């Protein structure tokens, strides 16, 4: 009887699906840890990025980048960088 995990099935599972699964687990754990750290820093168990305004700051940074054409000048990925800068500016302000 033929081995069911031989050939393209093995390639799909181990080379395509498994790295994505592991990366999703690592990113999810990182987000959980960052949320706990943020709640510990502000000493508020209900604190999240929406209540503290961090998400709005990221939206503001991305909007400013889009309005001034930063994405056209420096590339589309720079809009994300500007969103990060906006989020950091708001988080330091809070």
pLDDT, tens only, 12-70? 888 999 999 999 999 999 999 999 998 998 899 988 888 889 999 999 999 999 999 98
- Out of 45, 61, 81, a domain closes at 45
Query: Do 34 and 3 share a structural domain?
Result: yes
Are 91 and 52 in contact by the 8 Å Cβ rule? The answer is yes
* Number of domains, the chain: 2
Cβ(78)–Cβ(71) below 8 Å = yes
pLDDT band at 78 (very low <50, low <70, confident <90, very high): very high
> Does one domain contain both 56 and 40?
no
Taking alpha carbons only, the member of 90, 50, 93, 86 closest to residue 65 is: 86
Residue 1 belongs to what domain range?
Answer: 1-45
Residue 35 CB coordination number (10 Å): 13
- On whether both 40 and 20 belong to a single domain, the answer is yes
Same domain? For 41 and 76 the reply is no
Can you tell me the distance from the alpha carbon of 87 to that of 58, in angstroms, rounded to the nearest whole number?
Answer: 4
Q: Are residues 40 and 72 in the same domain?
A: no
26 and 39: one domain?
yes
- Residues 55, 38 share a domain: no
């Amino acid at each position: 009887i033929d081995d069911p995990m031989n050939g393209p099935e093995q390639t799909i599972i181990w080379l395509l699906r498994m790295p994505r699964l592991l990366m999703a687990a690592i990113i999810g754990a990182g987000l959980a840890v960052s949320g706990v750290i943020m709640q510990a820093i502000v000493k508020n168990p209900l604190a999240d990025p929406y209540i503290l305004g961090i998400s709005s700051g990221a939206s503001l940074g991305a909007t400013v980048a889009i309005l001034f054409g930063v994405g056209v000048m420096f590339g589309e990925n720079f809009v994300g960088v500007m969103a990060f800068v906006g989020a950091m500016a708001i988080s330091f302000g809070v």
